[in-house]
Structure 1
Amino acid sequence: MRWLAFLLFALVLVSACAPAVPPLVLPQDCPRDHELGSLQEKQWLQQKAVWRLHQTMLLETRFRKLAMQGFLRLDLKTGQGRLVAMNEVGLVLFDLTFTADDTEVHRVIPPLQKRPQMLATVGRNLRRIFLLAAASSDAEPTDIGSHRVLTRTVDDITRTGLFDCRGDLRESRTRGKDTNWRVLYNRYAEHEKWRLPQEIILNDQRDNIRLSLEVHEVKLEP
């Protein structure tokens, strides 16, 4: 049964570093039509809402890859998300909750019980993508053509958010002595009057980890 569990788990071992994040391509055909305050109002991650996202996920580290289907309930009212991850045949790999500070694992298959750091990595990077990317009201704005960068430094950690001329958050980056990660938000589309990215790529340069999300379905809870 152990070999069957590993087969269903579909954990692929590789002997390569995580691939580099593709370059950020920004639109050049639109004038900026937003001000600093409206950036926060337009961002879906800033709303006190509950989203349900169905997405394909690929976690890549130095030595392994893990592909999975992710069903995420993102509660921005309480600042937490719950992810149920499955493989291609519907086997639940793990079930976890993440907040801005912590990750709690509710269920996990036996092969992953031996890899607690992998689950911690998933929770930490989902936190970065969905809970730490919001624009700060006291961030310092800088204009680059029709695009805008918001920068905030606290305790020697610098967080930046790059918004394109349409007002979409396209890049979130955090740098410090012990941290260096970047998230790209690509291919925005309309959902329930909000614009959401269909592709999200996180790259942790310090730990050489990449997490890629392809969003297939979006629902807004009433």
Structure 2
Amino acid sequence: MLRIICSFLLLLLAACAPLTPPQQLPDDCRAEAAPAQLPASNWLQQPGIWRLRQAVLLEIGAKKIPLEGFLRLDLERGEARLLAMNEMGLVLFDLQVSNHDQQLQRAIPQLQQVRGFAQGVAQSLRQIFLQPQPQAGDHLENRGNSRRLWRLLPGGSLGFIYDCRGELRETRLVADAGDWRVAYDQYRQFGAMRLPEQIVMNDYRHGVKLSLWMREVKQEP
């Protein structure tokens, strides 16, 4: 199993990205929130510490690798720590991530030998949970039942789509820096906040799809 995982990781640059079905946004309301209110309502921009147990599916071309992840997400400090296990309960790696750095606390020997492994996983975690984030000078585009904040970047643009309830549904980058999309779906109430039960990230440049399903959500006091 471990050799198979490592072989899949080494094929990242050669694989074709799996397809993702289009999102279904609510259409029973109109998006009327002010631009400044959109980021303010996003759970990822609220100070707090979350402990998330997630079912994870990594897809590289036609290959599928199921994992289980335990993530501690400190949104105030901009840090995440992921402990990933396989289906047998074996710890594959323990990775600490900040906005600008990462530290591999431990990993099975096979993964330690994969060049760029920690950097690749860390970048995915940043894109899903930490950054990029909307900025005060972003442009606003109205789409009826959704609103999009966006800004120009070298070679393209970065955009954030919020549905008519003010919930972040998509982050999309198409620029020199990359070509990827994160979709946030199936929001539900967890304590005082609404979080997405499903998150799907597609890295089109490297042909990788990462799907996360929330299995347990706890917020530290």
Counterpart of 2:67 in structure 1 is: 68
Residue 63 to residue 13, structure 1, CA distance change in 2 (3 Å): farther
Does structure 1 conserve the Cα–Cα contact (< 8 Å) formed by 2:6 and 2:110?
no
Greater RCO, CA 8 A, separation 6+:
2
Does structure 1 conserve the Cα–Cα contact (< 8 Å) formed by 2:18 and 2:61?
no
Counterpart of 2:203 in structure 1 is: 204
Residue 152 to residue 210, structure 1, CA distance change in 2 (3 Å): same
Please give the per-residue CA displacement for 1:118-177, whole angstroms capped at 9, x wherever unaligned.
Answer: 333221111100012532222111100121000012444521000000111111011112
Structure 2 gap ranges (5+) = none
How many Å separate the matches in 2 of 1:63 and 1:82? Answer: 28
1:27-106 equivalent positions in 2, closer than 5 A: 27-62=26-61, 64-106=63-105
1:110 aligned onto 2:92:
no
Does structure 2 conserve the Cα–Cα contact (< 8 Å) formed by 1:133 and 1:161?
no
Amino acid at match of 1:60: E
How many Å separate the matches in 2 of 1:149 and 1:169? Answer: 10
Counterpart of 2:5 in structure 1 is: 11
How many Å separate the matches in 2 of 1:59 and 1:67? Answer: 6
Please give the per-residue CA displacement for 1:7-31, whole angstroms capped at 9, x wherever unaligned.
Answer: 6x87396796331122121111123
How many Å separate the matches in 1 of 2:176 and 2:33? Answer: 33
Does structure 2 conserve the Cα–Cα contact (< 8 Å) formed by 1:10 and 1:67?
no
TM-score relative to the length of structure 2: 0.89
Q: 68-77 or 33-42: which moved more?
A: 33-42
Measured on the aligned residues, the alpha-carbon RMSD in Å equals 2.2
How many Å separate the matches in 2 of 1:73 and 1:109? Answer: 21
How many Å separate the matches in 2 of 1:100 and 1:141? Answer: 26
1:143 aligned onto 2:142:
yes
Does structure 1 conserve the Cα–Cα contact (< 8 Å) formed by 2:69 and 2:84?
yes
Counterpart of 1:131 in structure 2 is: 130
Structure 1 gap ranges (5+) = 1-5
1:158 aligned onto 2:152:
no
Please give the per-residue CA displacement for 1:180-206, whole angstroms capped at 9, x wherever unaligned.
Answer: 111100100011221111111110111
How many Å separate the matches in 2 of 1:90 and 1:151? Answer: 41
Counterpart of 2:118 in structure 1 is: 119
Give the secondary-structure state (helix, strand or coil) at the position aligned to 2:171: strand
Residue 65 to residue 101, structure 1, CA distance change in 2 (3 Å): farther
Q: What percent of counterpart residues are identical?
A: 41
Aligned residues: 216
How many Å separate the matches in 2 of 1:63 and 1:13? Answer: 13
Residue 20 to residue 173, structure 1, CA distance change in 2 (3 Å): same
TM-score relative to the length of structure 1: 0.88
How many Å separate the matches in 1 of 2:174 and 2:58? Answer: 21
Amino acid at match of 1:193: A
Does structure 2 conserve the Cα–Cα contact (< 8 Å) formed by 1:45 and 1:134?
no
Does structure 1 conserve the Cα–Cα contact (< 8 Å) formed by 2:190 and 2:217?
yes
